[in-house]
Structure 1
Amino acid sequence: MQQTAIKLTNAVSQLPRDVINISTMGSFRADIPVDYIGHRNLINALEKYSHSRFLLVTSLGCGDSWKYLSERAKQGFGSAVREKSLAEAWLKSSSLNFTILRPGGLLDGAMTNNGELSQEVEVHGVITRAEVARLTHKLLESSSVGEIYQCVDPTATD
């Protein structure tokens, strides 16, 4: 694990300092979860090499939205959500200019232009990965530093 962190730090050292860093890293079907420790190592490396802009994509149910997850969801993927919540906490306590995006259930498919960003309200639903990418771009073009958003597409069905 330590060698992986060293390789990551070396890779980050090669990036231009003004690059915008985005992570969608997750542990779905992985033998070794990276939701927390992978992000912790990445955040530490970005801080070490004075990178400042970071957008972290996690999941509905992370952080203060845990209370909105159903018991079934908590049992099904609560462990990953807890790991992602730890990553969010590590990021929020870092020196990076961060934005956090918490999408609903991810679907394959095209952009719909119907995805909605919201803050500090209970939301449930799904969204295509392409639509998450569109909303990520929108957030990076706005003054979203220090903000946490969630996103779903009310027109999408799973």
Structure 2
Amino acid sequence: MDAKSNNAVIIYTDGACSGNPGPGGWGVFMTIDSVRKKFFGYSVNTTNNQMELLAALRGLEYLETQSNVILYTDSKYVQQGITNWIYTWLKNGWKNSKKEDVKNAQLWQAIYQKTLMHTIDWRWVKGHANNEGNMIADALAVQGRDKAIEILAGCDKDC
């Protein structure tokens, strides 16, 4: 898919986590027409894979109408999961090749529903390799993770 000829929405996503599990954040940087949008979120107890998935989901949820999308992720887990593995999971009732429940199935299912609405070209991009969109998404994910750490620092032991 060519971004210019198809008027594609460009989305860069990233996740960040301190510890695995631990406090984490997700970031989305997108361009719709010529408008740039940036947003992030966090969780005080999560995994890096969950944050990577949530970033992709939140980016797609932002789109209210059917769109052509080029979604960049530096997570092979996300890119390969949604373009390859998911078809086996669907066929096997959300079980993996070892007949175990697929990890993060609710997030995968929500993302899969978005693939039915949009035309998405899932592209892997090497992280921390001077790609502007990836660097912005990474900074947003780190901002989210830092917010989760800040919240935890203000909590007592029951938080």
Same fold by TM-score, threshold 0.5 exceeded? no
Q: Which has the higher contact order (CA 8 A, sep 6+)?
A: 2
Q: TM-score, normalised by structure 2?
A: 0.34
Q: TM-score, normalised by structure 1?
A: 0.34
* Greater fraction of residues in strand: 2
